[in-house]
Amino acid sequence: MPKIKPPVRTPHIDMTPMVDLFSVLLIFLLLTASFRPQEAAVITTPQSVSEKTAPDADLMTIFIGKDGKVFFNIDNGRDTSTHFRSKLLEKIGEQYKIKFTKAEIAKFGTMSSFGLPIKDLKTWLNTKETKDKDKLQTGIPMDSTDNQLAWWVREARLTNVGAEVAIKGDADTDYKIVKKVMDLLQDNKVNKFNLVTNLQKQEISMKDLPAATK
Amino acid sequence: MAEIIQEEKGKKGGKRKAKKHGTRIDMTPMVDLMCLLITFFMLTTAFSKAKVMVITMPDKEDSKDKDKDKPQIAAFRTLNIILSEGDKVYYYVGMADPKKPPLPMLVKTNFSKDGIRKILLDKNRDLFAKIAEYRDKRVTGKIVVSDTTLDNEIKRMKKDDKKGPIVLIKADDKAKYKDIVNIIDEMAICNIASYAIVDINSVEKDMLKNAPK
């Protein structure tokens, strides 16, 4: 008796559950995503055992690059209606007698870190090419004659009273510069710093205790 | 041309009976796209938030109340750590007062496990043992406490500690930022109760010049 051959068919996989799953994942990721903010300089943070996480809003960050360039960033606050950045730019504009247009202020509100003298800010905001923009980023001046960083910090402190301060310094920055920034912050009554670091676990126990020398 | 074809199609379609079985949509392109999107999001989202190390500095003293309210530190408890160029670490115990010679000798060490950590642990023996024991008990299940209780308990132990060293961290102009972070990190690892970052003074700068290279 000949065997009954089943008709050869290409197997068809039902992809509906897979699509369902993917949709769920996609929606989840879309909703939880907080995009990595673009940073003005590449900064390799030093390592530490600290497991505390930085607050995700109401944070003023000062970036210190390897070459000693200083960048500044402040977020718009937890409440989206506060628009701290725009307010800050207006205040700084008043301080330095620079008139920013509404469009410039709005644009500044959506950007992140920056590091350039105030006189270049207007040009920077109106430059479209990223390359040209990066060229303008020469660091915020903080000499004793014209300490612009101090003004940014001061006005930012007045704009967002509850903001914490984080310092994100490159591991190879000279301590001198970091110290200068810290002093400047202390002059503005900031005594608590969050130093941004990379987590690197190190466990030590009783065994590591050196033998008593007596 | 186009019109004719359309007409033909229309006629044919009208005549033909609609098939009964359910339509099957080829989902492969959709799945492809979704895979792509998911990978993209996975790579761009910052899942791990930045870790921070919190340091609190004392209020800068105003020129008015200088010398007032200055905490008195027992000299034998003070451990001065001086950071210098090329990850070098120097330390000395006590005070460097030019009026009371001889000046203490600087001892050179480094950031390795047997370097500064050994010295810190040795000085901080009691407190470290106490905290390690407490943690151990928690790990082995002898005591059950929440994370916050653990933190508070450790904080209390640190506050009550009267024997451990008081570490003064000083950095000269050539030190790097990572050195400072490293040394504060060592403080956390060794459970040092009291430490402060202070400015280096001229006496110590001189001592550093004569220090072993």
Residues of B in contact with A53 (CB under 8 A): 49-52
Question: How far apart are alpha carbons A136 and A132 in whole angstroms?
Answer: 7
| Residues B143 and B99 placed together within one structural domain of the fold | no
Closest Cβ opposite residue B52 in set A32, A166, A209: A166
Q: In which element (H, E) is residue B130 found?
A: helix B125-140
Residues of B in contact with A50 (CB under 8 A): 51-54, 185, 188
Residues of B in contact with A18 (CB under 8 A): 31
Q: What is the ipTM of this complex?
A: 0.75
Q: Is A22–B113 a contact, with Cβ atoms under 8 angstroms apart? A: no
The answer to whether residue A50 is domain-embedded is no
The answer to whether residue B210 is domain-embedded is yes
The answer to whether residue A46 is domain-embedded is no
The answer to whether residue B9 is domain-embedded is no
Q: Could you count the other beta carbons within 10 Å of the beta carbon of residue B79?
A: 22
Domain that holds residue B93: 73-124+164-213
Question: How far apart are alpha carbons A70 and B70 in whole angstroms?
Answer: 34
Q: Could you count the other beta carbons within 10 Å of the beta carbon of residue B174?
A: 15
pLDDT tens-place string over residues B6-54: 444 444 444 555 556 677 777 788 888 888 888 888 777 765 667 888 8
Asked whether the CA dihedral A16, A17, A22, A28 is positive or negative, the reply is positive
For chain B, the average pLDDT equals 77
Ramachandran category for residue B171: left, alpha or beta (phi over 0 → left; psi -120 to 50 → alpha)? beta
| Residues B134 and B213 placed together within one structural domain of the fold | no
Q: What are phi and psi of B45, to 5 degrees?
A: -75, 140
Whether A214 has a pLDDT exceeding 50, the answer reads no
At B118, which CATH number?
Answer: 3.30.420
Domain that holds residue A78: 58-197
Number of domains in chain B: 2
Q: To which residue do tokens 């074809």 refer?
A: B5
CA distance A28 to chain B (A): 10
pLDDT tens-place string over residues B90-139: 888 877 776 666 677 788 888 877 888 888 888 888 888 888 888 888 88
The answer to whether residue B150 is domain-embedded is yes
Task: Report residue B160 as tokens.
Answer: 């009550």
| Residues B91 and B104 placed together within one structural domain of the fold | yes
The answer to whether residue A150 is domain-embedded is yes
The answer to whether residue A39 is domain-embedded is no
The answer to whether residue A14 is domain-embedded is no
| Residues B80 and B132 placed together within one structural domain of the fold | no
Asked whether the CA dihedral A133, A135, A140, A141 is positive or negative, the reply is negative
